Chains A and B, each alone.
Chain A
Amino acid sequence: MAAEAIVVDQVSKRFNLRHTRSLKETVVWLFKGRRGDLSSTFMALDGVDVTVDVGESVALLGYNGSGKSTLLKLISGVMSTDTGSVKTRGKVAGLIEVGAGFHPDLTGRENVFLNGVLLGMTEKETEARFDEIVEFSEIGKFIDTEVKFYSSGMFLRLAFSVAVHTKPDVFLIDEILSVGDEPFQKKCLARIQELRESGCTLVVVSHDLDMVSKVCDRGVVLRQGKKVADGPISEAVRLLREG
């Protein structure tokens, strides 16, 4: 069955770079007869079409500023499109940035619950997976310590652990597999493979071409907001390496 999990249809996104954030300057500008520009724009995405089937794992590749992260944000719903449409099926969980919902003044345990629910689980589900989450993160006895006392590695491990245990239908990953030391990275990759085998749809944004070659079977290459290639991961990686 090849049902679509994500349909991105002719999507464009223009960013307004506003030069002021104060009402006074805007009013002054209005009174001066709107001389000069208060803002300039640039196209982050320009008519992009991507369809991802259920169970596929797709890498979004491209250089910095090519619009990968913007596309991921549009899919997760954090941003809305200017033109075109984005549609998704099932529960989408975004790892747009690890630990976004973590609060430094709460303990590890409180953060696990807050983030589990933030990422779309119920409190009961979080409760049920709590031990698994803690075990995976290797945080151990520090779980009841406030997160601000964690080392950056511990923090990221716990955040990642919560995210990969949410069991979404569509999993969006932005440059997060560079978490922790090598053994933990391996564990993360194994966990992602597991999710993939269980039928979860993956969309990965990363600059680590070796890693995406292992995790994804398809690659979409973006350049300055336009889709320039869409095919097997090996070809996409080669295209990117050759420039």
Chain B
Amino acid sequence: MSAELLAAPDKGGGLLDVLRRRELLRLIVRKELKVRYRSSVLGLLWSYVKPGVQFIVFYFALGVFLGLNKQPNFVIYMFSGIILVNFFSEAFSNATRSVVANGALVKKIFLPRELFPVASVWVAVVHFLPQFLILLTACFFFGWSPSIVQIIGAVGAFVIVALLSLGLGLLFAAANVMFRDSENIVDLMLMMATWLSPVLYAWYLVRDTLGETFYFFYQLNPMTIAVELFHFAFWAPTAAVRTAAEGARMPDNLISLWLPVGLLISAVILAIGQTVFRRLEGRFAQEL
């Protein structure tokens, strides 16, 4: 044992440390899943009931009353966007709260603190998958035949959202240790998330109403890019959309330009989040 060198105990390797302690990550994820639905009858079903009810409300309010159902397969259009935003919301808000919620551990046992935000994002993925399966089933029902490029777009969208929510989660989780206000700021951001991306309306309405310049900045939002990619992958290749007169109107250069831009912006946000997290990490134990 003395072959090992003397080393500082807080040699935090950041997210790389999380990779090294995958086993612990898996146990924490399992714990989170188990604890979330303790003593509840419906258990994991709750993660379907909530988006399900939300979906029904949107469907009637927007689809039926506002007449958006006249668009071909509006249900798929809306659902593919909603599950992506749900994934983002859950990952981001739980990651923000994760460090404070696990304060007892952070204060007493040394472990890479990035584990908690990462575990939150992972838990969100676990909740996202069944919703995604429902989307796939619905897609097949509506005559879905995607191309390879469209599948790549969907994978890209998932990666964008995962990176973005982890990056923002790290950033706000660290801020939350210092100021509990950040939980409320995150709630505000999430309230807007559904409306800042073309989940319930079409992207070209933004361009036509507010002009090219505004649209450019609108389009820089990684969530907007991800939602459009999901539309491109799941809504556009369904039968009714392909045969419709106007077809699927997608933003120009979605795959060639916006996909890489979205990945890049998310990666930069992740880098910023990780940097801030590591800078503040040393003070977690005494601030909690």
Contact = CB atoms under 8 A, between A and B. Distances in A.
Contacts of B10: 77, 80
Interface residues of A, number: 47
A77 B282 CA distance: 9
Nearest to B34: A106
A166 B268 CA distance: 39
Interface stretch (B23-31, B153-161, B189-197, B208-216): B23-31
Interface in B45-79: none
Interface string B266-288: 00000000000000001001110
A177 B106 CA distance: 22
A87 interface: yes
Contacts of B249: none
A122 B35 CA distance: 22
Nearest to B25: A117
Contacts of B8: 77, 85-88
A94 B4 contact: no
A178 B249 CA distance: 71
A60 B283 CA distance: 24
Contacts of B5: 89
B181 A23 contact: yes
Contacts of A96: 108-109
Interface stretch (A28-36, A97-105, A187-195, A213-221): A97-105
A115 to B, nearest CB: 9
A110 B27 CA distance: 9
A78 B108 CA distance: 6
Interface centre among A21, A75, A78, A97 (most CB of B within 10 A): A78
A89 B6 contact: yes
Interface string A21-62: 111101000000000000000000000000000100000000
B240 interface: no
Interface in B87-112: 104-111
A16 interface: yes
A21 B179 contact: yes
A100 B4 contact: no
Given A75-B9, A77-B10, A89 B23 contact: no
Interface string B159-194: 000000000000000000011110000000000000
Interface centre among B178, B179, B180, B286 (most CB of A within 10 A): B286
B6 A105 contact: no
B108 A77 contact: no
A105 B24 contact: no
Nearest to B107: A78
B2 A1 contact: yes
Interface centre among B6, B9, B31, B179 (most CB of A within 10 A): B9
Given A26-B179, A77-B9, A100-B104, 13 more contacts: A22-B180, A22-B181, A54-B1, A76-B9, A87-B7, A88-B9, A96-B108, A100-B109, A106-B34, A110-B34, A114-B28, A118-B105, A199-B1
Interface of B: 1-2, 4-10, 23-24, 27-28, 31, 34-35, 38, 104-111, 178-181, 282, 285-287
14 contacts: A15-B286, A21-B178, A21-B180, A77-B10, A80-B10, A80-B282, A94-B108, A96-B108, A100-B108, A101-B108, A105-B34, A114-B28, A118-B24, A118-B111
- Top 4 nearest A-B pairs by Cβ distance? A77-B9, A80-B282, A100-B108, A77-B110
